[in-house]
Amino acid sequence: MDTTQRTDQQRSADRRRRELLEAADRVVLRDGPQASMNAIAAEAGITKPILYRHFGDKSGLYAALAKRHTDALLASLRAALDAPADRRERVESTLDTYLAAIEARPQVYRFLMHPAEGSSVPLLRRMGEELAQVIEERVDLGAQSQQLARVWGHGIVGMMHAAGDWWLGDRPCSRAELVRSLADLLWGRLAAAGDKVGGPGF
| Residue ranges of domains in the chain, CATH in brackets | 1-56 (1.10.10), 65-195 (1.10.357)
Per residue, the 3-state secondary structure of 134-160, as one string, reads HHHHHEECCCCHHHHHHHHHHHHHHHH
- For every residue of 53-121, DSSP letters joined together read HHHSSHHHHHHHHHHHHHHHHHHHHHHHHHSSS-HHHHHHHHHHHHHHHHHH-HHHHHHHHS-SSS-SH
Q: What is the DSSP letter of 46?
A: S
pLDDT digits (tens, 9 = 90+) for 102-154: 999 999 888 888 766 555 567 788 889 988 998 888 877 788 888 999 999 99
Among candidate residues 132, 131, 136, 138, the one with its CA nearest the CA of residue 198: 138
pLDDT (tens, 9 = 90+) of the chain, 202 residues, equals 566 667 878 888 888 889 999 999 999 999 988 888 899 999 999 999 988 888 888 888 888 888 888 888 889 988 988 888 888 998 899 999 999 999 999 998 888 887 665 555 677 888 899 889 988 888 777 888 889 999 999 999 999 999 999 999 999 999 999 999 999 998 876 666 666 655 555 5
Closest CA to 173 of 181, 161, 183: 181
Alpha helices (H) along 32-45: 37-44
* pLDDT at residue 84, rounded to an integer: 87
